[in-house]
Amino acid sequence: MFSSAAALQPAAASSGNPLLADPVVQWLHTIADVSIGLACLSVSTVLVMLLRREPALRWIITVSAIFLLACGVAHLVQAVALFRPAPWIAGTSKVATAILASAAAVLLWPALAKWLSLRPRAELEREAEESRAAERRALEAEARIANVVANLSEAVFVLRVEDGQFLVDSVNPAFEKLFGVHAAEVQNGIAEEVLPRAMTMHCLPHWRDALAGGGTQDYEVTAEVPTGRRTWQTVLVPLRGPGGRVERLLGSARDVTATRRLQAGLVQSARLATLGTMCTGLAHEASQPLNIAGLWLRRARHAAQTSSADVQGAVSRALAVVEDQLRRAGELVARIRGLAGEDAAAQQRFDAVPSVAAAVRLACAQAAEQGVRITLHHPAAPMPVRGNPARLEEAVLHLLANACDSVQERRQKDPAAPARVIVNLRREAGRVVVEVRDSGTGIVDSLSETIFEPFFTTKEPGRGTGLGLTIAASIARGMGGGMEAWNLAAGGACFRMLLAADDEAPVAMAAA
Amino acid sequence: MGRRILVAEDEVLAAMAIEDELQREGYEVVLAPDGHAALEEARAQLPDLLLTDLRMPRLDGIGLIRALRDLAPTLPVVVMTGYAPAGGADAFRRPGEGPVTLFAKPLDMDAVLTELRRLLPVE
């Protein structure tokens, strides 16, 4: 039977270990071995828990923990062996500990070298903080640039080049406003499909040049986009990728519609002013001989009345021809005179709508005979302008006559062509605009500068005096505006009278 | 009512033809080659109507009308002109003065004669 008392008897006698002959020494060893064993186990447990927090030191901690665990187990085995001698177990555990200790000793040196090469934690933290700050700065800078681009008055756009196609990378609000598109709808779309057709048609050649040549492009385009007829000036910069290939195009477009319109207006005004002076002189000089010829014609007619019937018949036929021709010349002089200046005294504030409507009504009858349909679109609200209602009506009549003639001319060549004239009356930025769009032959590009000049006509001889558009332009000028004209993409031309809107409230006449 | 018309016209051929037309209508015609001469004639004997050109040597039509209005404020005036003055006939007339009618050259003589008959009715 194995009793506890016997189990606690020193095994010195049987083991033959002289150290253990003295019970005090034996207890000293026992307490020391158990304490060291437990301490080793405790420390190795702490190390295992530390492993999670310090992955960088995993190797050192693991090796150290195994070493301490082995030491602890060896010491506990030694403590047990003091009371129950088991030389094989004690020896084996010592050998195992020796192997693990040697392995730890060998493995820890390279691990130490690796650990020393790692940068101190503080430095790593500082670096991390610095990189976070740099990232923050970059984000702030990006936001600042995005804000600048978003608030830029110039339309900025970035095109991405993929497989020879241009994709819309991004556009700013000014671009949306200029071309009447929404950024969300055009982004990542093929430019030709998502941007206004009239715009891409004119711009694509420049984009291709920038892509092919790789140089900055500077161009100006006038086209009818959803926001109306616009002129814009673009600077296009190709952006190269790491491979040196052009990957993106950065464009910045400035709306110069108003400037160009003003410049064109000034040129037109200067030219017409010169011509106006000439017309006045011409009308006066021509009126004198025509006047005398007319008066003497009447004298000749009176004289002929006293001659024989034969002579009278021949002479009065001749005189009728002369009189008719003089009348034609006289009418011409009267029209030229009308160009020279507007009657300042007859200016008044009036609603443009009834005048334009009256002109359309008048023109409709004749147009219907030619098979041309005229439609008028205007808002319900009155459109006050300053001038003379009859003169505005006359101007619109000239424009309509011109439009109908142009439609007729096209129909002679192409009977299937549409026969339509549309009159739009609307407000545009402080102006009242009378727009006449026809489906006619359009204006020959090289002539667009001269169409408002007197006696300029493309009509065949005998049709039109060449004064209609000049008179309309003169009337528009007299009403504080001007005229412009261009061809429509679908064929035909668009003539616009731009009149100054007279929006000030009518002056109330105070009762005396 | 008198039927004496003072005609101020520097173009002799025009003046001759006008004189012919007016005489055929039964008017008494006095011709003057410029504004100055016309004013002299008017001072000698006041006409019943002035028919005048605007652009004339020495004294033009506007000066003539002004000077003549001082002599006879209500005298009817008919202007023949190659210009279209801003403001029309009112440009020649101050409030309270006689009527002014404007005819553009080349003249529509029938219209002129009709106006003269209105201003100076045949007795």
The answer to whether B79 touches B35, Cβ cutoff 8 Å, is no
Does a structural domain hold residue A144? no
pLDDT for A279 beyond 80:
no
Number of structural domains (chain A) is: 4
Question: Which of A278, A285, A295 to mutate against chain B (most B CBs within 10 Å)?
Answer: A295
For residue A349, give Cα distances in angstroms to A10, A236, A479. Answer: 132, 47, 10
Range in A57-71, A181-195, A261-275 with the lowest mean pLDDT: A261-275
Left (φ > 0), alpha (ψ -120 to 50) or beta: where does A118 sit? beta
Centre a 10 Å sphere on the Cβ of residue A141 and count the other Cβ atoms it contains: 10
Which residue among B14, B82, B83 places its CB closest to the CB of A295? Answer: B14
pLDDT for A265 beyond 80:
no
Does a structural domain hold residue A511? no
Q: Which residues form the domain of A290?
A: 265-340
Q: B97, B120, B1: which is closest to B51 by C-alpha?
A: B120
Residue A502's pLDDT is 84
Residue A425's pLDDT is 93
Q: Which of A221, A255, A289 is the last residue of a domain?
A: A255
Cβ–Cβ contact B111 with A under 8 A? no
Cβ–Cβ contact B120 with A under 8 A? no
pLDDT for A510 beyond 50:
no
Residue A139's pLDDT is 93
Residue partners of A428: CB distance under 8 A and separation at least 6: A228, A498
Statement to judge: residues A192 and A310 lie in one domain: no
Residue A451's pLDDT is 66
- CA-based nearest distance B100→chain A, Å: 16
Pairwise CB contact (< 8 Å): A345 & B13: no
Contacts of B107 in chain A (CB under 8 A): 291, 294-295
Using 50, 70 and 90 to split pLDDT, how confident is the model at A466? low
Contacts of B88 in chain A (CB under 8 A): 343, 345-346
Domain at A299, CATH number: 1.10.287
Statement to judge: residues A298 and A270 lie in one domain: yes
Statement to judge: residues A335 and A300 lie in one domain: yes
Residue B15's pLDDT is 92
Per the model's pLDDT, the better-predicted residue between A136 and A348 turns out to be: A136
Q: A274, A276, A286, A290: which is closest to A467 by C-alpha?
A: A276
Does a structural domain hold residue B45? yes
Mean pLDDT across the stretch A36-41? 91
Pairwise CB contact (< 8 Å): B106 & A333: yes
Does a structural domain hold residue A363? yes
- For every residue of A217-271, DSSP letters joined together read EEEEEEEEETTEEEEEEEEEEEEE-TTSSEEEEEEEEEE-HHHHHHHHHHHHHHH
Residue A219's pLDDT is 92
Residue A342's pLDDT is 43
Statement to judge: residues A10 and A25 lie in one domain: yes
Residue A391's pLDDT is 81
pTM for the model: 0.44
CA pair distance A36, A34, nearest whole angstrom: 6
Does a structural domain hold residue A260? no
Cβ–Cβ contact B113 with A under 8 A? no
Scan for tokens 């443009």, then name that residue. Answer: A352
Residue A242's pLDDT is 86
Statement to judge: residues A452 and A315 lie in one domain: no
pLDDT for A12 beyond 50:
no
Pairwise CB contact (< 8 Å): B90 & A345: yes
Residue A511's pLDDT is 34
Does a structural domain hold residue A411? yes
Does a structural domain hold residue B10? yes
pLDDT for A114 beyond 90:
no
CA pair distance B112, A488, nearest whole angstrom: 49
Does a structural domain hold residue B113? no
**Consecutive H or E run containing A43:** helix A23-53
Statement to judge: residues A233 and A269 lie in one domain: no
Per the model's pLDDT, the better-predicted residue between B109 and A348 turns out to be: B109
Domain at B54, CATH number: 3.40.50.2300
- CA-based nearest distance A506→chain B, Å: 23
Range in A264-268, A298-302, B58-62, B94-98 with the lowest mean pLDDT: A264-268
Q: Which amino acid is it at A15?
A: S
- CA-based nearest distance A334→chain B, Å: 8
Q: Residue A330's closest chain B neighbor by CA?
A: B106
Q: Residue A292's closest chain B neighbor by CA?
A: B14
Number of structural domains (chain B) is: 1
Scan for tokens 């005090």, then name that residue. Answer: A24
| CA angle centred on A436, ends A430 and A440, rounded to 5° | 150
Residue A491's pLDDT is 84
Mean pLDDT across the stretch A91-120? 82
Statement to judge: residues A443 and A473 lie in one domain: yes
Q: Residue A296's closest chain B neighbor by CA?
A: B17
Q: Residue A294's closest chain B neighbor by CA?
A: B106
Using 50, 70 and 90 to split pLDDT, how confident is the model at B52? very high
Statement to judge: residues A354 and A493 lie in one domain: yes
ipTM value, please give it.
Answer: 0.83
Q: A189, A197, A131: which is closest to A157 by C-alpha?
A: A189
- CA-based nearest distance A287→chain B, Å: 5
Range in A187-191, A257-261, A265-269 with the lowest mean pLDDT: A265-269
Does a structural domain hold residue B117? no
| CA angle centred on A173, ends A168 and A177, rounded to 5° | 95
Residue A131's pLDDT is 94
Contacts of A391 in chain B (CB under 8 A): none
Pairwise CB contact (< 8 Å): A338 & B11: no
Residue A343's pLDDT is 46
Mean pLDDT across the stretch B86-101? 74
Pairwise CB contact (< 8 Å): A345 & B84: no
Does a structural domain hold residue A510? no
Q: Which of A280, A314, A340 is the last residue of a domain?
A: A340
Statement to judge: residues A496 and A349 lie in one domain: yes
Using 50, 70 and 90 to split pLDDT, how confident is the model at A473? confident
Using 50, 70 and 90 to split pLDDT, how confident is the model at A39? very high
DSSP annotation of A501 = B
pLDDT in tens, A144-194: 988 888 888 889 999 999 888 899 999 999 999 888 899 999 999 999 899
Question: Pairing between strand A228-240 and A493-500?
Answer: unpaired
Q: Strand order of the sheet with strand B77-81?
A: B28-32, B4-8, B49-53, B77-81, B100-104
Residue A411's pLDDT is 86
Using 50, 70 and 90 to split pLDDT, how confident is the model at A4? very low
Which residue among A291, A299, A302 places its CB closest to the CB of B105? Answer: A291
Statement to judge: residues A188 and A296 lie in one domain: no
Contacts of A294 in chain B (CB under 8 A): 106-107, 109
Does a structural domain hold residue A313? yes
Supply φ then ψ for residue A325, to 5 degrees. -65, -40
CA pair distance A406, A209, nearest whole angstrom: 37
Chain B, residues 46-85, CB within 8 A of chain A, namely 55, 80, 82-84
User: Average pLDDT of chain A?
Assistant: 82
Domain at A177, CATH number: 3.30.450.20
CA pair distance A369, A242, nearest whole angstrom: 68
Does a structural domain hold residue B31? yes
Which residue among A284, A329, A343 places its CB closest to the CB of B82? Answer: A284
Q: Strand order of the sheet with strand A373-377?
A: A373-377, A420-428, A431-438, A493-500, A482-487
Per the model's pLDDT, the better-predicted residue between A462 and A205 turns out to be: A205
Statement to judge: residues A279 and A251 lie in one domain: no
Q: Which of A255, A280, A302 is the last residue of a domain?
A: A255
Which residue among A280, A326, A344 places its CB closest to the CB of B83? Answer: A280
Supply φ then ψ for residue A432, to 5 degrees. -105, 125
Residue A273's pLDDT is 67
pLDDT in tens, A290-349: 999 999 998 888 888 887 777 788 888 888 888 888 888 888 887 777 665 544 446 788
Residue A446's pLDDT is 54
Cβ–Cβ contact B20 with A under 8 A? yes
Range in A224-228, A340-344, A417-421, B21-25 with the lowest mean pLDDT: A340-344
The answer to whether A384 touches A349, Cβ cutoff 8 Å, is yes
Question: Which of B13, B93, B105, B107 to mutate against chain A (most A CBs within 10 Å)?
Answer: B105
Residue B39's pLDDT is 92
pLDDT for B26 beyond 50:
yes
Statement to judge: residues A351 and A433 lie in one domain: yes
Q: Which residues form the domain of B33?
A: 4-90+98-108
Q: B64, B66, B4: which is closest to B38 by C-alpha?
A: B64
Which residue among B55, B83, B106 places its CB closest to the CB of A294? Answer: B106
pLDDT for A447 beyond 70:
no
Residue A481's pLDDT is 83
Residue B84's pLDDT is 63
Q: A441, A440, A471: which is closest to A456 by C-alpha?
A: A471
pLDDT in tens, A478-503: 888 888 888 887 888 899 998 988 87
Range in A44-48, A107-111, A277-281 with the lowest mean pLDDT: A277-281
Does a structural domain hold residue B115? no
CA pair distance A438, A410, nearest whole angstrom: 11
Residue A13's pLDDT is 45
